[in-house]
């Protein structure tokens, strides 16, 4: 009976994690909002923002049903920031069962998660390569502010 209860519990968690934010919204509407950096994890160490008194903000605005404008406000902060404010005027939103994926152009390494934002259930993951960093990408967790 314990195994059955555990299976039901895990199934509920899995189903809830696969739902999109709002079923009646198009992808552009579902991902829109302002997101503030919450934490980053690298090499097994987690750090909460602000780090060194600095943070990163993402502003995602709907352009059309499958397109958004993304503004990244990211002051230089070493490993913890892409180190520049950038606007992506036209970024496409791909809908998948796990959430929404926004590929920012130009891709750093096509076919990877680098320079991508994943949005699901009021949070976002932004994967970027910090300046002069050669060991791979960094992923920062964001929470939706509005």
Identify which has the larger pLDDT, 2 or 37: 37
| Residue in the block written with tokens 């496409």 | 92
pLDDT at 126 over 70: yes
Model pLDDT for residues 30-76, shown as the tens digit of each residue? 999 999 999 997 767 789 999 999 999 999 999 999 999 999 999 99
Residue span of the structural domain in which 75 resides: 2-144
Identify which has the larger pLDDT, 143 or 121: 143
Nearest to 113, CA basis, from 99, 97, 102: 102
pTM above 0.95, yes or no: no
Contacts 24+ apart (CB under 8 A), 82-86: 82/56, 82/128, 82/129, 82/130, 82/131, 83/130, 83/131
Q: What is the CATH number of the domain that holds 82?
A: 2.40.128
The count of structural domains within the chain is 1
Nearest to 84, CA basis, from 128, 24, 53: 128
- Range with top average pLDDT, 42-46, 48-52, 97-101, 114-118: 48-52
Q: Which segment of 18-22, 50-54, 84-88, 107-111 scores lowest on mean pLDDT?
A: 18-22
User: Do residues 60 and 21 make contact, with C-beta atoms less than 8 angstroms apart?
Assistant: no
Residue 85 and residue 70: Cα distance in Å, rounded? Answer: 11
pLDDT at 52: 94
List the helix and strand counts (H, then E) for the chain. Answer: 2, 9
Averaged pLDDT, 89-115: 80
pLDDT at 13 over 80: no
What is the 3-state composition of the chain as percent helix, strand, coil, each rounded to the nearest 5? 15, 45, 40
> Bridge partners of 77?
none
């Amino acid at each position: 009976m314990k195994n059955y209860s555990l299976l039901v519990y895990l199934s509920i968690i899995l189903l809830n994690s696969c739902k999109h934010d709002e079923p009646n919204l198009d992808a552009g509407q579902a991902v829109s909002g302002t997101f503030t950096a919450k934490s980053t994890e690298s090499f097994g160490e987690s750090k909460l923002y602000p780090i060194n008194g600095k943070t990163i903000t993402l502003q995602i605005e709907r352009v059309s049903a499958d397109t958004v404008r993304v503004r990244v406000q990211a002051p230089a902060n070493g490993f913890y920031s892409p180190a520049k404010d950038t606007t992506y005027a036209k970024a496409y939103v791909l809908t998948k069962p796990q959430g929404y994926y926004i590929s920012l152009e130009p891709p750093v390494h096509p076919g990877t998660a680098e320079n991508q934002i994943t949005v699901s259930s009021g949070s976002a993951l932004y994967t970027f390569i910090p300046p002069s960093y050669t060991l791979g990408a960094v992923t920062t967790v964001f929470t939706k502010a509005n």
